Amino acid sequence: MPPIKIKQSPNPTAQTLTSTPSSQEARLLVRETLRISANLASAPASPSPAMSQPPPSSTSYSFVSPAQSVSLLDNTRRLGLVEDEFIDSSLRLICCEEIDGRRWKYVAENDSFGGYKKNSIRAVSLHTPQTPVEEMMSFIRTYVVPEGFPHSVTPSYVPYMTWRALKHFFGGAMGVFTTKALLSSVGASESKAISGAVAINWILKDGAGRVGKMLFARQGKKFDYDLKQMRFAGDLLMELGAGVELATAAVPHLFLPLACAANVAKNVAAVTSTSTRTPIYKAFAKGENIGDVTAKGECVGNLADLLGTGLSIMITKRNPSMVASFALLSCAYVFSSFQEVKSVVLHTLNRARFSVAVDSFLKTGRVPSLQEGNMKENIFSFPWLKERLVLGPRFKDAFQDPSAYLAIEPLFEKERYIVTYNPSKDQVYALLKDQAKPDDILKAAFHAHVLLHFIHLSIDSHSSSWKQRPVGHSNHILSANDLEARIADSCKMVSTLYGPFKSKAAEQGWRMSDSLLNPGRARIVETC
């Protein structure tokens, strides 16, 4: 094919188009015309639905035939819309490229023999040059959001990272006040002791924190079962430790015990944060990008921490009230922490989310969605709170009367668990047999909730003032015969409802095979 010579045309229309607008407007017209013309030239005759539009994060190429390239360049030449550097040269459009939604056209220059000149490929961008602000924002995005965002993460990622950034911002601001208090306390004690003693006190403080970190690590699987609860409790411990550090300024002679206690609390909080970080980020990742999500999440936290520290340094120069400033920042920190863990959407069922799902199913016949179930999950789970349902308890805790066990044992002959109610403790117990599998544990927990539902209905039917009755004082209403009847009714209901419950839960996206109900280790064995 002979080389294509492109020369500037004396077309008056072209002169009008190129002389009227400014240089910047002409360049915009060039890029837009090339983009439209190349799209029309490179479009296949019958594109398949799957390939009609490449994904925004991919690099795609559209190759153009020689005839199409001649037509495209000839049209732009006649309109006077060819870049100045390509006028009076032999060019051919080679291909089109797209990277993350941005497009380029590649052209090459022909030689006199019908081939291409070496190193003649040139790229023509179809986008206007970015402003310095846009370039800066693009640079920052590479550090704070995962590649392919927002398609590479779940929708709950944005609110979580927003609250996480705010939490770290306020945490960094509080760190300035607590460090100032610690240094002030050490300075006060320095007048009474040599510098070596001060250093020893500081080392003992750090050593106590490390010991507390090791002791708390024995919590083990609780970091998986009650992830949100442990995370929020850890943030509360962090606040407690910061408050104790602040108190050292008021009583500098108690620096060592207070600083040790504060460091223990803060190191325990650090263990909690580290242990729950990966499962949370895993819930946001789509595909195998958990490393990218984790790296960007930590970058956001560190950036917010630095900004908070800088702001707090500026505030401290004005000598504000340390107690008032700390109290305000603490409230903001705790609120941000609470909203942070509430925004996490997990697909697994722990005890809190399982209770929400079963209660909704028994009352309305529907299982809540992932978003609804996570939002209704109770985050405040403290060791001293009494649980109404005990899964996998010791036999002696569930039964004090042998006749009570012998009366209901035949009802569960075909099951791998036994469910009962202890009126003296106002608790439902789900005892597990040694052959119990994960699905049996899930069914036992479901049965326990059904029995608790029946007991509440029975109590309500006897007295409308049950809600005003203190917990543990409803045992006189249910006799032994009534209790056996309620347990028998619950067995019939469970056999009918357990299957539909699992199906509806799976339809909503809950992972029933990965339940995190954390049962006790006690099991009933048939032979001793």
Neighbouring residues of 158: CB distance < 8 A, sequence distance ≥ 6: 150
pLDDT of residue 417: 94
For the stretch 329-375, pLDDT in tens is 999 999 999 999 999 999 999 999 999 999 999 999 999 999 999 99
Are 256 and 204 in contact by the 8 Å Cβ rule? The answer is yes
pLDDT of residue 358: 94
> What are the angstrom distances between the C-alpha of 70 and each of 76, 119, 411?
10, 21, 86
pLDDT of residue 510: 92
What the block records as the tokens of 525 is: 């064995």
pLDDT of residue 140: 74
pLDDT of residue 58: 44
What's the pTM value of the predicted model, to 2 decimals? 0.68
| Between 466 and 454, the higher pLDDT residue | 454
Helix (H) or strand (E) holding 95: strand 91-99
For the stretch 465-475, pLDDT in tens is 444 554 544 44
Mean pLDDT across 9-26: 43
DSSP bridge pairs for 59: 99
Mean pLDDT across 220-237: 85
Lowest mean pLDDT of 57-61, 262-266, 353-357, 396-400, name the range.
57-61
CATH class as words, domain 155-343: mainly alpha
For the stretch 385-395, pLDDT in tens is 778 899 999 99
For the stretch 131-161, pLDDT in tens is 788 778 777 777 777 777 777 788 888 888 8
| Between 471 and 252, the higher pLDDT residue | 252
pLDDT of residue 432: 94
DSSP assignment of 430-474 equals: EEEBTT--HHHHHHHHHHHHHHHHHHHHHHHHH-TTGGGSPTT--
Q: What are phi and psi of 485, to 5 degrees?
A: -65, -40
pLDDT of residue 186: 64
Mean pLDDT across 212-225: 70
Mean pLDDT across 227-245: 90
For the stretch 74-132, pLDDT in tens is 554 444 444 444 444 567 777 887 766 677 777 887 777 777 777 778 777 776 667 78
For the stretch 476-518, pLDDT in tens is 456 778 888 889 999 999 999 999 999 999 999 998 876 788 8
For the stretch 26-43, pLDDT in tens is 555 555 555 555 454 444
Query: Average pLDDT, whole number, for the chain?
Result: 76
In this predicted structure, the answer to whether residue 59 has a pLDDT above a threshold of 50 is no
pLDDT of residue 87: 45
In the chain, % of residues over pLDDT 70: 70
In this predicted structure, the answer to whether residue 15 has a pLDDT above a threshold of 70 is no
Q: Out of 164-168, 373-377, 384-388, 461-465, give the one with best mean pLDDT.
A: 373-377
pLDDT of residue 526: 76
Strands 91-99 and 417-422: unpaired
Q: Is the dihedral of CA 277, 282, 286, 287 positive or negative?
A: positive
Mean pLDDT across 431-447: 92
Residue 275 pLDDT grade (very low, low, confident, very high; cuts 50, 70, 90): confident
CA 312 to chain centre: 28
Q: List the chain domain ranges.
A: 91-125, 155-343, 351-463+477-508
Judged by phi (left if over 0) then psi (alpha if -120 to 50, else beta), residue 100 lies in left
- The one-letter amino acid at 339: Q
pLDDT of residue 270: 86
For the stretch 168-199, pLDDT in tens is 888 888 877 887 777 777 665 445 444 555 55
pLDDT of residue 27: 56
pLDDT of residue 290: 83
Q: Is the dihedral of CA 387, 392, 393, 398 positive or negative?
A: positive
